Amino acid sequence: MIPPSPRSSEPTVIEAGAWADVLVRRRLVHAAVLAPTGQWLVQGRPGGPVRVLAGPADVVALAASIQLRIRSTRPESR
């Protein structure tokens, strides 16, 4: 697998919001909400624990880790 190229800037709230929306729409997480403090509250499944992510970079990192997990479990990637 090709390693990701380094980012030239930090993820923005808009980018994190877009990724959070994709994760929820694709049912990869149950909920992802931006708190007034700038933190993100993410719940993996209904009734499950809520993770507190520090900011946009953590949301993007979560999306990347989910993508990596999905890709690594596909039969064609083995």
The model's pLDDT over 28-64, given as tens digits with 9 standing for 90+, comes to 999 999 999 999 999 999 999 999 999 999 999 999 9
Q: What pLDDT sits at residue 76?
A: 67
Q: What 8-state DSSP symbol labels residue 75?
A: G
Per DSSP, what are the bridge partners of residue 52?
A: 41
Name which of 63, 67, 53, 51 is nearest 19 in CA terms. Answer: 63
Predicted TM-score (pTM) of the model is 0.83
